[in-house]
Copies of this chain bind each other. A is one copy, B any other.
Amino acid sequence: MGESNAATPRERYRAQVRTEIKEHAWEQIATAGASALSLNAIAKRMGVSGPALYRYFAGRDELITELIRDGYRSLADTLRAAAADGADLSGLAHALRGWALEDPHRYFLLYGTPVPGYHAPDDTTAISSEIMATLLDACAGLTQEAPAAPFAAHLEEHRGWAGDHPAPPAALHLAMSFWTRMHGVLSLELAGHFTGMRIDPAQLFAAELDDLLRQRSA
């Protein structure tokens, strides 16, 4: 009690306002897209003057960075929680889809068209590795043919993206394939490409997942 770690009222207030700003930012992104994110507009919606927000974020870029970080964090936590609940790869797939549908613009902010002048901070790749490691844990129990020799070697050499997870090349490949395939269906679904086609995205997603898991059950 009363240690240096206790948040002062001012600190708590700052944290709360930062959160509120970010919430409005997500709303705005959901309405007009990430490239239209504007500090002034957020301030207006909060009933506050424009420059006030500069007390909380150094500028627009820092805000976007924070949003991206939060996005990765949220996905990592969601998948980890699912895994802790005993979800297998199929369960993780549905957790991923649920998370994406919950806020499509958040998904696109992380995995969609890159924001023009913007470059992601280093520590998001750490969270990314965490996500891949969770996938790899779920892949470990499954059998899968090893990829062709050169590609297997390539995967073994570069396992940094999975936090140096000690999985065999077959699992590394499966995790990678899982990610790209789920992303393929999901991103086209979220972009609305299936609505025009009158194809049910849920069925397509399920079929894709089925095919991925075929002959790979533990």
Contact = CB atoms under 8 A, between A and B. Distances in A.
Contacts of A180: 181, 184-185, 188, 204, 208
Given A173-B207, A177-B208, A207-B173, A111 B188 contact: yes
A199 B181 contact: no
Interface stretch (A18-26, A28-36, A71-79, A88-96): A28-36
B113 A113 contact: yes
A118 to B, nearest CB: 10
A199 B176 CA distance: 10
Contact of A108 (B113, B117, B155): B113
Contact of A148 (B115, B192, B199, B207): B207
Contacts of A102: none
Contact of A191 (B36, B113, B184, B210): B113
Interface string A172-195: 010011011111110110011100
Contacts of A158: 197-199
Interface string A143-183: 00001101100110010110000000000010011011111
B116 A36 contact: yes
Nearest to A109: B113
Contact of A32 (B116, B147, B173, B182): B116
Nearest to A191: B114
Interface in A99-134: 108, 111-117, 125, 128
Contact of A211 (B111, B161, B177): B177
Contacts of A160: 197-198
A80 to B, nearest CB: 20
A173 B51 CA distance: 54
13 contacts: A32-B117, A113-B113, A125-B197, A147-B207, A148-B210, A154-B203, A158-B197, A158-B199, A160-B198, A161-B196, A176-B204, A180-B184, A183-B184
8 shortest A-B CB distances, which residue pairs? A184-B184, A161-B197, A112-B113, A33-B116, A35-B35, A180-B184, A113-B113, A108-B113
